[in-house]
Structure 1
Amino acid sequence: MSDGSRLVHIVDDVPELEDLTTLTMVVVLDGFLDAGNAAALAAGHLVTTSTARDGRTGTVVATFDVDRLHDYRARRPPMTFVRDHYDDYDAPRLVVRLLHDSSGAPYLLLHGPEPDNRWEGFALAVREVVERFGVTRVVNLGSVPMAVPHTRPIAITPHANAPELLVGESRWAGELRIPSSAQSLLELRLGEWGHAALGFVAHIPHYLAQLDYPRAAVELLERLEVGGRLMIDLSDLREAAAQREVEITAHLADNTEVADVVSALERQYDSFARAEESGANLLAGDEPLPTGEQLGQEFEQFLAGLEQPGDDDTDEPPADGWGTGGTR
């Protein structure tokens, strides 16, 4: 038995997955690669739409040993205290669910907190799942905070462990040194083991990174439809995204200082778009960006007026997203 299999329990008999010629597994890990909760919102939408079709939240076909992967002191699970006693505990779960897309086709969703340790063992455990169920492609979804305005199209960075798997063209030129993640290591290792893996990272305006940003979740799921060969009903999520944009616009109208910062980001973004053919990028534009201190001051009031996500996750991505030389 490999180190990976000791970290995961896989259901022995899943008749629906037998004799399939293609099977997609979507991977969404909460924490580092989830600015704006975009990936988590996308995963939640997948479960919700599948539940609406099947009448259940998805059969769990594999469960990971969270006790060996999770740092409870760094990311303390919430629990409920009622007057004089502890009433409930939300234990972290890292599972693989069997879901169905809008056409009824089965696919898998691996979701839960990103492992805090034993990444190599986790990758081996995922390999066990991939090979047990005959997964033909793994699709990672993630998001990072970037110095971009919400008034421009959301950029998506596609990636894959084989060129023929890429969906879209990356806007990055040259080489970047970035903080690693369990998802990025998984994609690398799956390629070494001969398994197809690809993914998409949405660029989130860093002043919205701590809010639910469903517009980015829509963008990720639209790419998933192509890269994962799935059909997904996005109507409810698009409605939530439109409502969030209305809220942001309303708050900008009442905060001219914030609007000035967004305008500066718009000029930076447009400068990049004009210079893109020469290899420029958002991390090295000609126009100066507001400093982190300026952004913090301007957006403190702005963020206070918008609903904050309920999950108090201390494992946050760095403010510079994929900046060179950044550390987690």
Structure 2
Amino acid sequence: MTSSPRLVHIVDEVPELEGVENLALVVALEGFLDAGNAGALAARHLVRSGAFSSDGGGVVVATFDVDQLHDYRARRPPMTFARDHYEGYEAPRLVVRMLRDAGGTPYLLLHGPEPDIRWEAFCRGVREVVERFDVTLVVSMGSVPMAVPHTRPIAITHHANNPDLLTGTSPWRGELRVPSSAQALLEVRLGEWDHDAQGFVAHVPHYLAQLDYPRASVSLLEQVELAARITVDLSELRESADEREEEIGRYLSANDEVQDVVTALEQQYDTFARAEEEGSSLLAEDEPLPTGEEIGRQFEQFLAGLEGPEDNGGGS
């Protein structure tokens, strides 16, 4: 009888982590809980920020066996067909990297596609990593589509398996039944194993949920900086966010119908905010709005047009 292959392979020795106190593990899984690719963009920025140290994009200290976790038919990895042959297969990778922040402080980053199957085994694998490297805090990033305008501040939902980690009052009242995710289950299981975990979920305008939305990534990383006690240079990401906002502004100026929708969302947002300040439970009046998918498709067509011959580099 052959034994099943190990789900996670952890590096035996990482001298850079010896004696490190208050080590944080940042988690950003691509897939369900990643509207606007906010978490994925944030993770890529953190990897690029590894250039502050001599190890460049960071050192991989743990690797998950993706073949045991990934549904290839549901999420087919891209590859290139070059004239008469296949090449350039982009295999999915789920890894833990050791990175350093702007001040040289080491931390870990778990990033890659969210597991499609074997969530419980995945959580046990993360537990192995946490206990192997004496991680003191796990911080996750996520984003969800919401009926909010892009012209208002990014709202963040903060959650944790330890109430002492919560820094503010939740905007939600009562209980919500939501679809689960591997990332959410991980927080629950870590709490059962007496490991602290907290996370932040950015509210992304639903009409931009299918596009890269770096403004949400900036908001998430600002929260991660505070929670994990690391410092990240966000200037490059903020520039990308400003460029995307300019693209959206140009699109709205040429499309009155969509601008009307955004204006209606602004009215709803402001009415709700006033009600919250006044202690009222009244919500904004409903407006007949197109679906986020309908508006998102129009934005995608607009941004795709920026990649044409006349584009000056501000495309998607």
Cα displacement (A) at 1:53: 3.6
**1:91 counterpart SS class:** coil
Tell me how far apart the structure 1 counterparts of residues 213 and 52 of structure 2 sit (CA, whole Å). Answer: 23
Aligned match of 2:303? 306
**1:305 counterpart SS class:** helix
Q: Which is worse superposed, 125-134 or 14-23? A: 14-23
**Length-normalised TM-score, structure 2:** 0.91
- Off by >2 Å, runs of 4+ in structure 1: 3-6, 51-55, 277-280, 289-293, 295-303
Alignment check: 8 A CA contact 1:70 1:117 kept: yes
Cα RMSD of the aligned pairs, angstroms, is: 2.0
Aligned match of 1:27? 27
Aligned match of 2:178? 178
Aligned match of 2:137? 137
Tell me how far apart the structure 1 counterparts of residues 242 and 186 of structure 2 sit (CA, whole Å). Answer: 34
Q: Which is worse superposed, 5-14 or 216-225? A: 5-14
**Length-normalised TM-score, structure 1:** 0.88
Aligned match of 2:313? none
Cα displacement (A) at 1:247: 0.9
Aligned match of 2:50? 50
Aligned match of 2:96? 96
Tell me how far apart the structure 2 counterparts of residues 304 and 267 of structure 1 sit (CA, whole Å). Answer: 26
Per the alignment, do residues 279 and 86 of structure 1 end up closer, same or farther by CA in structure 2, a change over 3 Å counting? farther
**1:144 counterpart SS class:** strand
Cα displacement (A) at 1:86: 0.7
Amino acid at match of 2:45: H
Aligned match of 1:105? 105
Alignment check: 8 A CA contact 1:201 1:220 kept: yes
The answer as to 2:208 corresponding to 1:208 is yes
Per the alignment, do residues 86 and 161 of structure 1 end up closer, same or farther by CA in structure 2, a change over 3 Å counting? same
Per the alignment, do residues 5 and 28 of structure 1 end up closer, same or farther by CA in structure 2, a change over 3 Å counting? farther
Amino acid at match of 2:197: A
Per the alignment, do residues 128 and 296 of structure 1 end up closer, same or farther by CA in structure 2, a change over 3 Å counting? closer
Cα displacement (A) at 1:155: 0.1
Alignment of 1:64-75 (within 5 A): 64-75=64-75
Tell me how far apart the structure 2 counterparts of residues 29 and 298 of structure 1 sit (CA, whole Å). Answer: 26
The answer as to 2:286 corresponding to 1:288 is yes
Amino acid at match of 1:302: F
Alignment check: 8 A CA contact 1:6 1:125 kept: no
Cα displacement (A) at 1:88: 1.6
Cα displacement (A) at 1:57: 1.4
Cα displacement (A) at 1:222: 0.4
Tell me how far apart the structure 2 counterparts of residues 296 and 290 of structure 1 sit (CA, whole Å). Answer: 15
**1:49 counterpart SS class:** helix
Alignment check: 8 A CA contact 1:148 1:266 kept: yes
Tell me how far apart the structure 1 counterparts of residues 172 and 280 of structure 2 sit (CA, whole Å). Answer: 8
1:259-299 CA distances to partner (integer Å, 9 max, x unpaired)? 0000111111111101125474xxx8331144455x55455
Per the alignment, do residues 153 and 85 of structure 1 end up closer, same or farther by CA in structure 2, a change over 3 Å counting? same
Aligned match of 1:232? 232
**1:109 counterpart SS class:** strand
Aligned match of 1:80? 80
The answer as to 2:184 corresponding to 1:159 is no
1:209-264 CA distances to partner (integer Å, 9 max, x unpaired)? 01111111110000001011111111111111111111111110000000000011
Alignment check: 8 A CA contact 2:42 2:218 kept: yes
**1:204 counterpart SS class:** strand
- Unpaired runs of at least 5, structure 2: 306-316
Tell me how far apart the structure 2 counterparts of residues 296 and 219 of structure 1 sit (CA, whole Å). Answer: 24
Tell me how far apart the structure 2 counterparts of residues 174 and 91 of structure 1 sit (CA, whole Å). Answer: 42
Amino acid at match of 2:276: E
**1:248 counterpart SS class:** helix
Amino acid at match of 1:172: W
Alignment check: 8 A CA contact 1:267 1:287 kept: no
What is the aligned length?
A: 303
- Unpaired runs of at least 5, structure 1: 309-328
**1:39 counterpart SS class:** helix
Cα displacement (A) at 1:22: 1.1
Alignment check: 8 A CA contact 1:257 1:298 kept: no
If asked which structure has higher relative contact order (CA below 8 Å, sep 6+), I would say: 1
Amino acid at match of 2:300: L
Q: Which is worse superposed, 93-102 or 55-64? A: 55-64
Alignment check: 8 A CA contact 2:81 2:87 kept: yes
Cα displacement (A) at 1:8: 0.3
